[in-house]
Structure 1
Amino acid sequence: MADQYDLLVLGSGPGGYVAAIRGAQLGLKVGIVERENLGGICLNWGCIPTKALLRSAEVLHNMQHAKDYGLAADNIRADLDAVVKRSRGVAKQLNQGVTHLMKKNKITVHMGEGRMTAPGKVEVKGEKGTETLSAKHVILATGARARDLPFSPADGKRVWTYRHAMTPSEMPTDLLVIGSGAIGIEFASFYNDMGANVTVVEMLPRIVPVEDEDVSEFLDSALSKQGIEICTGAGIESLKADAKGVTATIKRASGKVEERKYSHVIVAIGIVPNTENIGLETLGIKAERGIVQIDGMGRTNVKGVWAIGDITPGPWLAHKASHEGVIAAEAIAQELGNKDVHPHEMDRRNIPGCTYCHPQVASVGLTEEKAKEAGYDVKVGKFPFVGNGKAIALGEAQGFIKTVFDAKTGELLGAHMIGAEVTELIQGYVVGKTLETTEAELIQTVFPHPTLSEMMHESVLSAYGRAIHI
């Protein structure tokens, strides 16, 4: 007899495993299907191990600038193999942590390739051969993979995706990074700190194009000062790899076409949802270009089938997937008779974005440009790191915090940061937006001194002509 579940989750990334745990907390019988590693891409090959790499690069950077702090450090060097080994160790620890959480919450794990064959039926081909599982509800959380250049697929030798870049067989000498979103910029920052000559090519007019224009301009300048060559408005027309390196044909914004040689290339041009061969067509689940269409709770057009994370409309971020997992699990529990849960649709305007380069970038809500395009009359505040005592004491006086308000209501529309630890600071504004705060509450809030967070207060004050330290 097939295993029977209240909820079966296909995929164990930050969306899938969180959905499974929340379902179990609500008393559901839960199973989860995973074809590779518990924790999915994020824990094993994405968010976490990349942050371990970037931490090593940050420590190296600080050691190289020890004299700026009155310290001496001699014979400084990077051991790439050791850096990668540490990163993989971090990933392994978190994978084991998810394994423990599955056992703790009595979630049955089925290792193998899962595919929906009928409503409530999932066929799993894996370590136990082929088994058929039954569930009242199924959550699809199969994630995504790196998008290849159509004319030059990644080979893992000279042309890399993020996955290859995390476990390099050798240190690049001259590195080309194609794409300047979070993944591309983070690897550009890492390998630059590790000693490679790095070039970033972005087809749009500015790097990190989803961020506020002021942030993009500041980051472009900061990375250029660090020695990274930035080429915006440029495209890659061809890549030719051989045993010695890669020849790239680059069309510049001016229209000039040139050939450049690199030791390695990282392709970071987006993701492709993993929605092939999971049963979408069999069940008639609606999808557009592989992206499953859902309502605000995660329901697909087929009853009992839900979808979350990178196979659904963006932004494609781990924390968005996790939150969607909680919403879907609670909505399922509610449908199964739990009267104590009251799920709410997620407000996508309140999802923060973070890029862990040096300097860091973080944001939430509308950019100044998008706010104006939406018809808002805006008040904008901006405060520089150089005006903050803690930033100066840390030796991190480069950056700024920018806030965008509705001039009529005082609603916080967006916040945009670049500088040290802004990926930690941004959550203050996320909480504020979620609570639908206005400038009045933020102005009246007491911020501790001396902290970087004081700049968040000053930026709000600046929007209303009240900044103290500039």
Structure 2
Amino acid sequence: MHFDVIILGSGPGGYVASIRAAQLGMKTAIVEKESMGGVCLNWGCIPTKSLLNSAKFLQSIKKNGELFGINNENLEIDYSKVLSKSIKIVDQIKKGVLFLMKKNGIHVVYGNAKLKKRKKIEIIQKEKSIGEYSASHIIIATGAIPKIDTKFQYDGKKIITYREALLLSSLPKRIIIVGSGSIGLEFAYFYHSMGAKVTIIEICSKLFPNGDDDLSDYLKSSFDRMGIENYVSSNINKITYNHKSHEVIVDVKTSLKNIVLKADTILYAIGVVPNIQCIGLKEVGIQTEKGFIVVDENYRTNIDGYYAIGDVIPTPSLAHVASHEAINCIEKIKALSCQEIDYNNVPKCVYSLPEIASVGYTEKESKEKGFQIKVGKFPFSALGRAISDENTGGFVKVIFDDKYDEWLGCHMIGNHVTDLISEVVVARKLEATSYEILGSIHPHPSLSESIIESIADAYDKAIHL
């Protein structure tokens, strides 16, 4: 069977590409080896946010229960119901994606796809070929898989990744999380809120390594207050398993000394790598570099008719990036005019508590690039809405170029900042200056006032600071 376009993978890159292709009149097929929606829907973005919502609700009751006449002394957690709620939400959204496939007339194929020459793919189910499909255009959107430290034995039981974490039948009493990127931080907050003893091991010199230094410092202080143990500039030397006590024993080299930690489970959250093994890249001759598929500005590989988007190419491994690349790739195939993606204006969010949201350059990066900068910061503790909501932790930090008044970056930590960051993304897209933003009236009381106040602080005009 021949199609105009075949997409490999049904994550936020793949399924969005298939819908946009169908909208533009292309005969479209999508191949998925596992579950519709890919990692984001089934194992990442959606189920983890459901778990975090349960954690935040529990913490809110513990913190504020007495104010509302709730006796929280004997709170019990039914962990199985916490997990089942996330599964129910995933199933609901998955049905929505399948509905969109049907609505747009997209042919869905389940199985492992292997690329063939002359723009063909072979579909394999249970290690048997069930036939071939051909297309004028083939888009690789197979996403990413968890990165594992090959020095240590990964068994999926005591040493796990985020996939197994979502399937644990019971809550570990003690868990060691390796890595403090978004995945590690979110699971650290979740397990701590559920009552587990959490320890983070981070090889870099700060938590949230790619974030602005002020964010990382505040996050560490916040986790310290919660009782989430964390070791930065630290690395694992050895992992052993005590069969008698069923403990995982971890020898850790910190910046000061070697320590020994014990836990029920180790969660590896050290990042992801492109999921491009065994899909036929070498057979077709598609070029890779440092584990990523090489593409040009139109997402074309070095072989005509083959494209790649999302986590398999060296752009930010984020669902919203993959979706935008998907739309651009299809529109470029159809020779339509589309806006190029500014990868420096991609919001990066962590949905723990406190939430984290960033876009653009950090203060350190701005200085390294030679900008003369103005920096402003405004704490939520000085904001009426935050005080009335009794969520005063965190701040908004802005960075502007002193010469051209360009908004170089914005970094937030606190309640609902993953929603606030969108205003910054739009303003930077429109090349708004501080002068224009300060002249834009924000509602009072609102959390968005923190953006105005932080900009005013950069120019020594802050009213409430």
TM-score, with structure 2 as normaliser: 0.97
**In percent, how many aligned pairs have the same letter?**
43
Q: CA deviation at 1:170?
A: 1.9
Q: Is the 8 A contact 2:176 2:198 kept in 1?
A: yes
Supply the distance in 1 between the matched residues of 2:167 and 2:89 (Cα, whole angstroms).
13
**Residue 320 of structure 1 pairs with residue 318 of structure 2:** no
Q: CA deviation at 1:242?
A: 4.4
Q: CA deviation at 1:70?
A: 4.4
Supply the distance in 2 between the matched residues of 1:385 and 1:96 (Cα, whole angstroms).
39
Instruction: Decide whether aligned partners of structure 1 residues 403 and 69 sit closer, same or farther in structure 2, where only a CA change above 3 A counts.
Output: farther
Match of 1:398 in 2: 393
Match of 1:379 in 2: 374
Match of 1:338 in 2: none
Supply the distance in 2 between the matched residues of 1:67 and 1:20 (Cα, whole angstroms).
47
Supply the distance in 2 between the matched residues of 1:225 and 1:284 (Cα, whole angstroms).
53
* Aligned with residue 252 of structure 2, among 232, 250, 253: 250
Residues 395-434 of structure 1: matches in 2 within 5 Å? Answer: 395-434=390-429
Match of 1:118 in 2: 117
Residues 59-458 of structure 1: matches in 2 within 5 Å? Answer: 59-67=57-65, 69-74=67-72, 75-126=74-125, 129-243=129-243, 244-254=246-256, 256-334=257-335, 341-458=336-453
The CA deviation string for residues 225-249 of structure 1, in whole angstroms up to 9 with x for no partner, is 0010110000011212344120001
Q: CA deviation at 1:164?
A: 1.0
SS of residue paired to 2:400: strand
Q: Is the 8 A contact 1:297 1:344 kept in 2?
A: no
* Aligned with residue 465 of structure 1, among 451, 460, 464: 460
The alignment yields a C-alpha RMSD, in angstroms, of 1.3
Supply the distance in 2 between the matched residues of 1:235 and 1:314 (Cα, whole angstroms).
27
Instruction: Decide whether aligned partners of structure 1 residues 139 and 435 sit closer, same or farther in structure 2, where only a CA change above 3 A counts.
Output: same
Q: Is the 8 A contact 2:122 2:129 kept in 1?
A: no
Greater shift, 166-175 or 360-369, is seen at 166-175
SS of residue paired to 2:201: strand
Letter in 1 for 2:201: V
SS of residue paired to 1:95: helix
Letter in 2 for 1:245: E
Match of 2:24 in 1: 26
Letter in 1 for 2:46: I
Supply the distance in 2 between the matched residues of 1:260 and 1:440 (Cα, whole angstroms).
52
Letter in 1 for 2:290: R
Q: Is the 8 A contact 2:180 2:202 kept in 1?
A: yes
Supply the distance in 1 between the matched residues of 2:106 and 2:214 (Cα, whole angstroms).
46
Q: Is the 8 A contact 2:356 2:418 kept in 1?
A: yes
The CA deviation string for residues 439-466 of structure 1, in whole angstroms up to 9 with x for no partner, is 1221111111111011011111111111
Q: Is the 8 A contact 2:175 2:266 kept in 1?
A: yes
Supply the distance in 2 between the matched residues of 1:242 and 1:278 (Cα, whole angstroms).
39
Q: CA deviation at 1:116?
A: 0.9
SS of residue paired to 2:111: strand
Supply the distance in 1 between the matched residues of 2:118 and 2:223 (Cα, whole angstroms).
51
Match of 1:4 in 2: 2
Q: Is the 8 A contact 2:11 2:38 kept in 1?
A: yes
SS of residue paired to 2:334: helix
The CA deviation string for residues 396-451 of structure 1, in whole angstroms up to 9 with x for no partner, is 00100001111101111110000000001000000111111111221111111111
Letter in 2 for 1:251: K
**Residue 17 of structure 1 pairs with residue 15 of structure 2:** yes
SS of residue paired to 2:208: coil
Supply the distance in 1 between the matched residues of 2:283 and 2:291 (Cα, whole angstroms).
14
Letter in 2 for 1:152: F
Q: Is the 8 A contact 1:120 1:304 kept in 2?
A: yes
Q: Is the 8 A contact 1:33 1:110 kept in 2?
A: yes
Q: Is the 8 A contact 1:297 1:345 kept in 2?
A: no
Q: CA deviation at 1:345?
A: 2.1
Match of 2:42 in 1: 44
SS of residue paired to 1:371: helix
Supply the distance in 2 between the matched residues of 1:140 and 1:163 (Cα, whole angstroms).
22
Greater shift, 291-300 or 460-469, is seen at 291-300
Q: Is the 8 A contact 2:146 2:272 kept in 1?
A: yes
Q: CA deviation at 1:129?
A: 4.7
The CA deviation string for residues 302-351 of structure 1, in whole angstroms up to 9 with x for no partner, is 221111111111311111111100110111122xxxxxx31232110011
Greater shift, 242-251 or 185-194, is seen at 242-251
Q: CA deviation at 1:156?
A: 2.3
Supply the distance in 2 between the matched residues of 1:437 and 1:298 (Cα, whole angstroms).
30
Q: Which runs of 5+ in 2 are unaligned?
A: none
Q: CA deviation at 1:277?
A: 1.5
Q: CA deviation at 1:97?
A: 1.1
SS of residue paired to 1:14: coil
Q: Is the 8 A contact 1:63 1:73 kept in 2?
A: no
Supply the distance in 2 between the matched residues of 1:69 and 1:391 (Cα, whole angstroms).
17
Supply the distance in 2 between the matched residues of 1:465 and 1:153 (Cα, whole angstroms).
55
Supply the distance in 2 between the matched residues of 1:425 and 1:432 (Cα, whole angstroms).
12
SS of residue paired to 1:208: coil
Q: CA deviation at 1:355?
A: 0.3
Q: Is the 8 A contact 1:443 1:460 kept in 2?
A: yes
Supply the distance in 2 between the matched residues of 1:287 and 1:220 (Cα, whole angstroms).
37
Supply the distance in 2 between the matched residues of 1:138 and 1:220 (Cα, whole angstroms).
45
Letter in 2 for 1:378: I
Supply the distance in 2 between the matched residues of 1:136 and 1:456 (Cα, whole angstroms).
48
Poorly superposed stretches of 4+, deviation over 3 Å: 67-71
Letter in 2 for 1:49: P
Q: Which runs of 5+ in 1 are unaligned?
A: 335-340
Q: Is the 8 A contact 1:403 1:415 kept in 2?
A: yes
Supply the distance in 2 between the matched residues of 1:414 and 1:330 (Cα, whole angstroms).
29
Match of 1:337 in 2: none
Q: Is the 8 A contact 2:140 2:308 kept in 1?
A: yes
TM-score, with structure 1 as normaliser: 0.96
Q: Is the 8 A contact 1:64 1:73 kept in 2?
A: no
Supply the distance in 2 between the matched residues of 1:200 and 1:418 (Cα, whole angstroms).
19
